[in-house]
Structure 1
Amino acid sequence: NTRPLIRQTCFPAVCVLLTSDYFVVSNEYDGHINVDCQRRRLANIPKFTSLSVISLNLNGNHIHHIKGATFSGLANLKHLSLMWNCVPDHLKEQRWPSCSLKVDPNAFSGLKNLTSLQLAGNSLNTIPPLPKQLEILGLEFNHIFHIVKPLGTPLLKQLLLNKNCFYANPCYQSYFIDPRVFQDIPELLNLTLSYNNVTIVPPYLPLSLESLDLGENKITHINKESFANLKHLRHLNLGWNCQRCDHASEPCFPCPNNQSLNLHQDAFLDQRDSLISLSLRGNSLHTIPQHLFVRLHKLQELDLSDNFLAYAIQNGTFYEELQNVVSLSLLYNYEPQKSFSELILSPSIEKMMALRELYLSGLFSRVLSNHSLAPLVKLPRLESLELRMNFICSVSMDAISHSCFSTFPLPSSEQNTMQDSGEDHCFFYYSMWHFKKQICSKNQFFDLSQNNIPWLNASTFRGMEKVVCIDLSYNYISQTLNGQQFTLLSKLAYLNMAHNRIDLYSDKAFQEISGTLKALDLSNNEFHFVMKGMGHRFTFLPHLPSLKILSLANNHIGLRISNILTSTSLKYLDFSGNRLDIMWDSRRNQYLHFFQGLTNLTHLDISENQLKSFPPEVIVNLPPSLQMLRMDFNVLSYFPWGNISVLEKLCHLNLSSNMLSFLP
């Protein structure tokens, strides 16, 4: 679904005055000009005359009519984007009147070099005449649901038609495309028809197709002939056609009598040598037809989440047909109104020798035992195991402590080292998600978030000795960490304990992983911090010499805490969502040096701290190594501009969303 991007260069922008209100910004590169007129409140398209313009962006304006000669001066135009000029009624803001983009018959057809045309969000009822050489056509979010006339674009590679007929943009009828339309586009590679009230797989699809999206429709049967002769199809999405509705977040449309999607066992026979990814998510499946996947020799990604496969996961043999699958998603296959005492996996899963990623969240099993994960011990390539939202309250993983999984070869130290931003570059703010991806990619990762784990001790992690990343967020952990909990985790580099009730009083917290821990997320652990009269300390920080990233966000930290944070290794600190307004109140001075002990800190986020002013004494006591400082979303009416020069390395300062009234 990749759309061509408007090329951005480092060349100076050229601004052309159109009226007293509008400017066109263009960038020139290699003699080619890319013109950006998006969101300029244009009601009419400016008249351009240039042989150098190859790209024009008119998205998000109020253009309601495209006349025949509009683009006559742009003979070499290749990429034209006119999206979101007449948004469909159900999707637009109420203050805007209804409209439908009118396109004169020869408005586009005369553009002999045009290869990409994006017309999403224009309330079009029909497809306008198109240039013959077009390769990419985007028609999403329109009212195009009955296509009879061929497009006249034999070179078309991508046709994007999703969301032309669904609950937020209704058409009140079944979607229809005449077979002649597909016969006229023999080179089509990518077709998207999701969210369109499609009731059957369209017949006579182009044999050239490599990617087909039929998700979020109302298809009830997949027959042997549905994808016949599509021997190049690599990516197929059939998700959410017979929808499971008991935990739906959007309007939900089950099949008649809540039936499952009917899948013929030979439905994918002609894709046996091509199909790489397949989604059958949300189709109310209770069982998997035997031999459905057995011929799919190249299948690598399979999504079976949001079905009713709880018992098939425990007893099924379909795993044996997935010996080349790398990623298997079984998320949210819980049995309605039932939770299992123990997570059980079918022994046949051990046949999936290529498996790297396994997603088992939302199966509702209270105990993770040795027996639970025993079938996984023979999987030599397994890297990531997700077990979120299972209401797990007891964990025992001895079974894998001497398994192939526990001795999975970790990437080299070069791969396992975070990339340093370097002193010569000013990098924008990085989130914890970014660091998680950077540290945990290709490393062993256990996700135990969103469960019921109340307490941690060393035995909790027995069997995870080689793990590099653990996510324990959104549990009920409420204890003082004293340096004994993670003793078995000799490789642990990333630890997420957000959304718990961790007590950080002990100076021995995390000391058992001090040599390896690089990123620590303690955000949203406000339970103890908001208790009146209770003291808190951050004296554990100096004992973590490898720690580079720390999040203490959204903890309401404001009183009875250590006067200064100390670390020689920490580079990134997220302290947003706390109460620095209390700590730096003019009646107190004990916290004026709070960040000064972080001698290598480069990135500091103190947004959303309810700060009304920023004391000059604080800014001169910030670490001189600081490169990025976020103070957005406070209520600052005063900032000590005269003191900012002490931060000689500062290259990014964010003061947006405050109440500042002047600049120096």
Structure 2
Amino acid sequence: MSGGLSEDTRVCPSLKCTFLLFKHVNYCLPRSEGQFFIIMFGPRLFLFVVLNHLCVVKAINLKFYPCDNTTASNGDINVDCGHRGLTSVPKFKSPIVVSLNLNENLIQRVKREDFSDLPNLQNLSLMWNCLPGRLKALRLPSCKVRIDQDAFVNLKNLSSLYLVGNSLDTIPLLPQRLQVLGLEFNNIFHIEKPLGTPFLKQLLLSKNCYYANPCNQSFSIETRVLQDLPELRNLTLGFNNITTVPVQLPPSLESLDLRENKITEITKESFANLTKLRYLNLEWNCQRCDHAAEPCFPCPNNASLGLDPGAFHDQRSSLSFLSLRGNSLHYLPKNIFAQLSRLKTLDLSDNFLAYSIHNGTFFEELQKVVSLNLLYNYQPMKTFPELILSPYMSRMRALKKLSLSGFFFHQLSNYSLEPLFDLPKLEYLDLRMNFISSCNVTAFSQLRALRMVVLSQNMLAFNPCYKAISMDIQLTSMTLSDRKREDPLENQEDPYFRSELERNSGQCAEEDCPINDSMWYLQRCHCYGKLSFNLSQNNIPWLNASTFKGMENAVCMDLSYNYMSQTLSGQQFSPLTKLIFLNMAHNRIDLYFDDAFRELRSTLKALDLSNNEFHFLMRGIGHRFEFIKNMTSLEALSLANNNIGLRISNILRSTSLKYLFFSGNRLDIMWDTRGDQYIRFFQGLIKLRYLDISDNQLRSFSPEAMANLPKSVQVLRVDSNILNYFPWGNLSTLAQLCFLNLSGNHLSNLPDIAVPFGPKLSSLDLSHNRLTAIPESFFSQATALKDLRLDHNQLKIIEKQVLPSSFKSAICSTAFKTKNCKLTLHANPFICSCVTSWFAEFLRGSPLFIPHLTTDVRCGFPESQTGVNVLAIDPRSCQEIFGSVAFLFTSLLALAATTIPILKHLYGWDLWYCFQILWAGHKGYTSLQGNSMVNNDHDAFVVFDTQNKAVRDWIYNEMVANLERRGRWQFKLCLEERDWVPGVSCIENLHNAVYNSRKTVFVLTNNGSFSSVSGIIRQAFLLVQQRLLDEKVDVAVLVLLDSVFPKVKYLQMRKRLCKKSVLSWPKNPQAQPLFWNDLCVAIASDNVKSYDKKVTESFLSHELL
């Protein structure tokens, strides 16, 4: 009962108040009066509570359904209607909506009144509703978004408007204060009329006319259009078949994108007066097509992009980024970069600058450049025997990053790198994909600031016996890397080339719960700002100490994808005395001997041995992991994807290991129930925090296996197995567990027990299973759970009481929905009916963050509702079904609440008296003998004011002493403070005391006279009177401690009727023995026999009432 009360009162506090009121009335009043109070006033109170509860429920709703909304701290609302299959703009009315997202829908008409009720809209995104031409999927019919010309004009506060990917061929009228306009991926080829947006700062017009969105003409924009944009800062015109640079560009421009057009020449006037231009992209205008992966459009006669020496003269004090990539440049005009004093990044990749790199002088013009990209400047059908760099490169004193991939040469010597020796800031050197077969690694030691050397995807063997195949033959048959607008070799985020601030922040800070840690993350945080060598994807057949000559100071080493098949003996890495991270993935390393990696035991913290399954797949071969216990500094180890299953060490031992990645192995074989050989496999890792045993083909997880996991484990990943059983009852053994991932298994049933989740478990992933129900007690002890994932199961209903108690605590119950507490429910076949209508109400009002709530939380049953969003079910439909019954019920309730109080006022006493008579006639009477002591537990029940200290002292020191301990009559008295049973209600104790005592003695004082008594004394008196009516027994004895009392009618009547039952405490101490004798006689005798015969019984009965 208590649990149900607390759950309900969370929604309607008045219900709790009413319950407590009823309970108080029933407890403190006499039974008959308490029942009468409830009968008289209960219906009225209950009606008030019901109506109040209905009002609360009605107030909880999703105003912007079917869209999501978030509220900022200042009260502004952002509405997200993206990817919801909408065919029209939803009608919202709110003056505080500032952002509306309508992306990825099927809207094909925008009317002028669609946004009339959103007067303060500032950001509107209406993208990807109808892709043009070849960009859309083949199954989709042709379409076009039609926008009324004045659809946006009245949005006076609109600052950003994105209309990307809508097949527009005209631009609608725009609000004057617009600052950002996105029109990419449309069919806009000619812009002739001014936009009427003098405050526009960004105009995005890319990809309106190119090979994937053909227009068969050249894009054009009138001069007056650009002149009407005095504050324009960012203009993108890429992928538009533009043949010349637009004239009279706004002088305010800071960023200009002209990539992938058909511009053949950049003249001195092209960018004249653009004195604020900081970013200029001219790549892929005269394209190099000998290794193109996409349609390629070279300039006539395969000519290079024409560059005037003074093309960037007006940008000499502003330009910081310049891209001339893919323009078939064979040379660079002299002094073209000489005056660019602020140029930091220069991209010259995918050109024909091989000989310019050998002997060009333009490098001396790049003294302020920080990043220089020279990717894929190889000479066709030519591989140089050795890398030779222009001596002028030594003038680039500010250079930090140099990319020389795709240059093609055999040898890298000390002479090759000599021009770089004088560069004090060079940190990143990329030499991948060059077919290098010989490399003098010691030359890199001359580069004092060097932090990252990339030599991957070459032919390095570091072995004098290894002969590389003929490069000339290889070049004729090889397929070079695909040219892409975003080349992965150039644009991928490299963790080694970062600012000093980013490096310092890349330290491996130990998290409270390392949920997202991975080997890539550990590599990033261990290697930021530290000397690293990337030798992956080479031809290194085996390792020895001479292999690492020149790399002695390396902190991180990547040797993956070399297919080394070698048994390590503890000598190979001896020169690497500072090595922290080592990647040996995708090789064929034999780990049998104890001395493997012994030389790195004091420094190595992270070791990646994943995808070394070659030896583990050999039948009958034994394997050992004893080397792990010798590596005293090792914190992270990956043995993933090795098919480890048989003939291995029984237990892993390490006093330092914190992260173990063991996915992609065969724990199903190791933990086979027929044996327990490997049941303690992980037990020796006493400091383990992160254990990944996903994708191990586990069908069950035995309690013994759980009990033998390291007690220090905080993150346990068992996802992507085929589990149908998990030992929930044994989770208490992992007291430090904060994240448990069981997603992607075959769990169908959860036990109906209170699972001991532990005080730190904050995240549980049960998604992608086959769960059909959640038992009520399952999450009862999940006090810390804040992230629960139940999506992609077979759940039909979730009761409120099954949710973790933490979801109902103050942490989650905030005024605004927060991501602190997350519950995923999408992709479940929920039942949508009147019986479960509360579920939709719960979702509407829940403070939890529920992803995909308005998009993918759908009905599965009944069939008529399949696919309908749960929130779309109209709660009024259920109200209509039961509307007539509810109306009749509430009408009768209102009638009763009105008539019952009136009847009570007019005929209440008569009805009560008749009821008592009828009840007595039905129950019958049992006569009691006047002198019988049967069923009397006490001789007298003494009633007195327990708050009066003087009376209490008289009772315990005088009355008790004289009646229970002295004299010839020793009575058994009943006292409230002494004889009442603890734990029994007040009214029950009082009833038992009166009815189980022969007499009831009232000890009264002048200040507590009968006219003003209350509480226990009054209730006792009423019970004595009731006993007189029911049993015809007069048991009252009055003891007056004061000589003067008010003239109370009852007291005067009692003295006339039965004088012996009213005694006064004498003033003379000599008379006190007589008083005690009279009191003993009054207690022992029958009051009725002492009545005055002149008073009739009938008169007596009516007067007493």
For 1:218-237, what aligned pairs fall within 5 Å after superposition? 218-237=262-281
**Cα displacement (A) at 1:112:** 0.9
- Worse overlay, 439-448 or 113-122: 439-448
Q: 1:460 to 1:634 in 2, by over 3 A?
A: same
Q: 1:353 to 1:163 in 2, by over 3 A?
A: same
User: 2:267–2:311: 8 Å Cα contact kept in structure 1?
Assistant: yes
For 1:405-484, what aligned pairs fall within 5 Å after superposition? 405=449, 415=504, 418-423=507-512, 426-484=513-571
1:486-509 Cα deviation digits (max 9, x unpaired): 333333333333333333334333
**Cα displacement (A) at 1:170:** 2.3
For 1:253-268, what aligned pairs fall within 5 Å after superposition? 253-268=297-312
- 1 CA distance for matches of 2:407 and 2:554? 23
Structure 1 residue matching 2:740: 3-state secondary structure? strand
Q: Which one of the candidate residues 187, 191, 196 is aligned to 1:152?
A: 196
Structure 1 residue matching 2:660: 3-state secondary structure? strand
Give the corresponding residue for 1:335: 379
**Cα displacement (A) at 1:73:** 1.3
User: 2:128–2:166: 8 Å Cα contact kept in structure 1?
Assistant: yes
**Cα displacement (A) at 1:274:** 1.2
Structure 2 residue matching 1:16: 3-state secondary structure? coil
Give the corresponding residue for 1:64: 108
User: 2:223–2:248: 8 Å Cα contact kept in structure 1?
Assistant: yes
Give the corresponding residue for 2:836: none
Structure 2 residue matching 1:366: 3-state secondary structure? strand
One-letter amino acid of the counterpart of residue 24, structure 1: D
Q: Which has the higher helix share?
A: 2
- 2 CA distance for matches of 1:641 and 1:169? 56
Give the corresponding residue for 1:16: 62
**Cα displacement (A) at 1:17:** 6.2
Structure 1 residue matching 2:533: 3-state secondary structure? strand
Could you say which structure has the larger radius of gyration? 2
**Cα displacement (A) at 1:142:** 1.9
User: 2:287–2:298: 8 Å Cα contact kept in structure 1?
Assistant: yes
- 1 CA distance for matches of 2:296 and 2:450? 42
- 1 CA distance for matches of 2:588 and 2:385? 25
Give the corresponding residue for 2:914: none
User: 1:276–1:301: 8 Å Cα contact kept in structure 2?
Assistant: yes
For 1:125-136, what aligned pairs fall within 5 Å after superposition? 125-136=169-180
Give the corresponding residue for 2:285: 241
1:92 aligns with 2:92: no
Structure 1 residue matching 2:680: 3-state secondary structure? coil
**Cα displacement (A) at 1:133:** 0.8
1:170 aligns with 2:214: yes
Structure 2 residue matching 1:260: 3-state secondary structure? coil
Structure 1 residue matching 2:599: 3-state secondary structure? helix
One-letter amino acid of the counterpart of residue 250, structure 1: E
**Cα displacement (A) at 1:582:** 4.0
1:279 aligns with 2:323: yes
- Worse overlay, 321-330 or 568-577: 568-577
- 2 CA distance for matches of 1:653 and 1:289? 62
Structure 2 residue matching 1:35: 3-state secondary structure? strand
Structure 1 residue matching 2:100: 3-state secondary structure? strand
Q: 1:17 to 1:588 in 2, by over 3 A?
A: farther
Q: Give the structure-1-normalised TM-score.
A: 0.88
User: 1:63–1:85: 8 Å Cα contact kept in structure 2?
Assistant: yes
- 2 CA distance for matches of 1:380 and 1:585? 60
**Cα displacement (A) at 1:205:** 1.8
- 2 CA distance for matches of 1:633 and 1:178? 58
Q: Which one of the candidate residues 365, 368, 384 is aligned to 1:324?
A: 368
Q: 1:64 to 1:622 in 2, by over 3 A?
A: farther
- 2 CA distance for matches of 1:583 and 1:306? 52
Q: 1:450 to 1:151 in 2, by over 3 A?
A: farther
One-letter amino acid of the counterpart of residue 423, structure 2: L
1:66-96 Cα deviation digits (max 9, x unpaired): 1111111111111112222223342233333
Structure 2 residue matching 1:212: 3-state secondary structure? strand
For 1:509-548, what aligned pairs fall within 5 Å after superposition? 509-548=596-635
Q: 1:418 to 1:406 in 2, by over 3 A?
A: closer
1:493 aligns with 2:580: yes
- 1 CA distance for matches of 2:587 and 2:436? 15
Give the corresponding residue for 2:684: 597
Q: 1:587 to 1:129 in 2, by over 3 A?
A: farther
For 1:353-368, what aligned pairs fall within 5 Å after superposition? 353-368=397-412
Question: Please, which runs of 5 or more residues in structure 2 have no aligned partner?
Answer: 1-59, 453-498, 747-768, 775-1105
Overall identity of the aligned pairs, in %? 62
For 1:328-407, what aligned pairs fall within 5 Å after superposition? 328-401=372-445, 404-405=448-449
One-letter amino acid of the counterpart of residue 62, structure 2: V
RMSD across aligned positions (CA): 3.0
One-letter amino acid of the counterpart of residue 511, structure 2: G
Q: 1:340 to 1:56 in 2, by over 3 A?
A: same
Q: 1:184 to 1:363 in 2, by over 3 A?
A: same
- 2 CA distance for matches of 1:597 and 1:75? 66
- 2 CA distance for matches of 1:278 and 1:63? 39
**Cα displacement (A) at 1:227:** 1.7
- 1 CA distance for matches of 2:303 and 2:584? 41
**Cα displacement (A) at 1:157:** 1.5
Structure 2 residue matching 1:358: 3-state secondary structure? strand
User: 1:392–1:453: 8 Å Cα contact kept in structure 2?
Assistant: no
Q: 1:338 to 1:101 in 2, by over 3 A?
A: same
- 1 CA distance for matches of 2:387 and 2:620? 42
Question: Please, which runs of 5 or more residues in structure 1 have no aligned partner?
Answer: 1-13
Q: 1:50 to 1:265 in 2, by over 3 A?
A: same
Q: 1:63 to 1:96 in 2, by over 3 A?
A: same
Give the corresponding residue for 1:552: 639
Give the corresponding residue for 2:736: 649
